[in-house]
Amino acid sequence: MRRLNIAIVGFGKMGMLHAGILNILPNVRLIAICEKSGFLRRFLKKIFRDTLIVDSVEKLSNVDLDAAYVTTPIRSHFPIVKSLYESGVTCNLFVEKTLASNSDEARMICNLARRYGGVNMVGYVRRFSATFMKAKSLLDMDIIGAPTYFKAYAYSSDFFGLENKSKVNAPRIDVIRELGCYALDLALWFFNDFGIKDVKVKSTVSSCSIDSAYFKAMTSDGIAGDFRVSWCMNGYRMPEVGFLIEGSGGSLSVNDDELTLSLKDGRSQKMFKHDLGDYCGFWLGSPEYYREDEQFIKAVTQKENAEPCFETAARVDALIDEILVRADWIEE
């Protein structure tokens, strides 16, 4: 089987992580890296001696690529994806979350994907977490009956204790798009669709950023939900996303590390990640990153759809825009 030729655009933390995984996947070759930082390019040329290192997407147009990963900051996703398509670099694209910096850009990216074809996917990695995959399976099996209510949270301690309202320490992106997007994507995966209402946001670190948010949701089936998002929470050294889902036959709680099932007939069970076969071919970052990349490469190889695709991810961008509008928030 011919090996797939892959390029990575943007060699920050996520670019390095995906590069490490791609380099050990069978039938895959990382043959090009696009990075605008001159300092990084000089470093990369010493490490990746057999890899083409360039400073612009257009310089990849004459490279025989099967797919490209876009792991740059969110605000650059749209122009880079547009250039990759229109320069004929490749039509098979993996983009780190979120797909775009607003729903208009996300919609234009989806239009480009429909025009040029190919396989596309967005890095909502928690869909590949053992605990959330198990939760999805149990919900699909109606283990807790018909869902009636859910609570979702996305917390971290990244900015805990910073309350100086200084632009110097201001996050470059709001907490909803950076962290809350995971909870929104999982909720769409679990419940298919919902609308937003009763939004409250708080700026703690800086007046230029949303650092905490609370909002309600309602699905078309009448399932009510509450979301709480903050990166100013004490005790969350690592970002954590979790759900409590109540149903007619019991409840299910799940987060990045464990899942608890409590049924009304008295049965209960608690499962940790290691109880759920949380294994992968190569452990870098966490097993879900390997499964995510494996799924994308498999889809490209077999020319089949991958999830979450651009169309799916664009729904998250639309929900974020709805939240910001209801909060009367204007992004700078």
pLDDT (0 to 100) of residue 332:
59
Rounded Cα gap, residues 49 and 64, in angstroms: 18
By C-alpha distance, which of 150, 320, 329, 153 is closest to 251?
150
Q: Do the domain assignments include residue 12?
A: yes
pLDDT value, residue 205: 87
* The token pair that represents 58 in the structure block: 């257009």
Q: Closest by alpha carbon to 134, among 282, 267, 256, 300? A: 256
Say whether both 160 and 241 belong to one domain.
yes
Residues 48 and 70 in one domain: yes
Q: Are residues 79 and 152 in the same domain?
A: no
* Cα 4 to Cα 254: distance, rounded to the nearest angstrom: 36
Most confident of 41-50, 139-148, 156-165, 169-178: 139-148
pLDDT bucket at 125, cuts 50 / 70 / 90: very high
Question: Does residue 290 form part of some domain?
Answer: no
Q: What percent of the chain has pLDDT over 70?
A: 96
299-311: per-residue pLDDT in tens? 999 999 999 999 9
Q: Do 107 and 132 fall into the same domain?
A: no
Q: What is the pLDDT of residues 267-317, one digit of tens each?
A: 999 999 999 988 888 778 899 999 999 999 999 999 999 999 999 999 999
Do 82 and 159 lie in one domain? The reply is: no
87 lies in the same domain as 188: no
* 167 pLDDT more than 60: no
Is 206 a domain residue? yes
Q: Report the number of secondary-structure helices (H) and strands (E) in the chain.
A: 9, 14
pLDDT, residue 92, reads 98
Q: What is the CATH number of the domain that holds 41?
A: 3.40.50.720
Quick check: is 293 in a domain?
no
Domain of residue 25: give its range. 4-118
Q: Do 181 and 86 fall within a single domain?
A: no
For 74-105, write each residue's pLDDT tens digit: 999 999 999 999 999 999 999 999 999 999 99
- My answer on whether 139 and 46 are in the same domain is no
| Amino acid 10: pLDDT | 97
Domain count, the chain: 2
pLDDT at 66 over 80: yes
Residues 230 and 191 in one domain: yes
CATH classification of the domain holding 216: 3.30.360.10
Same domain? 134 vs 114: no
Q: Is residue 52 part of a domain?
A: yes
Residues 156 and 216 in one domain: yes
Encode pLDDT of 168-216 as tens digits: 556 667 999 999 999 999 999 999 999 999 999 999 888 888 999 999 9
Task: From 66, 83, 118, give the residue that closes a domain.
Answer: 118
Say whether pLDDT at 63 is over 80. Answer: yes
Q: What's the number of CA atoms in the CB half-sphere (13 Å) around residue 247?
A: 24
How large is the average pLDDT for residues 33-54? Answer: 93
Residue 307 placed within a domain: no
CB atoms within 10 A of CB 7: 24
What is the pLDDT confidence band of residue 49, given thresholds at 50, 70 and 90?
A: confident
User: What does the pLDDT read at residue 232?
Assistant: 94
pLDDT of residue 329: 83
Q: How confident is the model at residue 164 (pLDDT cuts 50, 70, 90)?
A: low
Q: Indicate if the pLDDT at residue 165 is higher than 80.
A: no
Q: Is residue 309 part of a domain?
A: no
Whether residue 244 sits in one domain with residue 136: yes
Judge whether 304 lies within some domain.
Answer: no
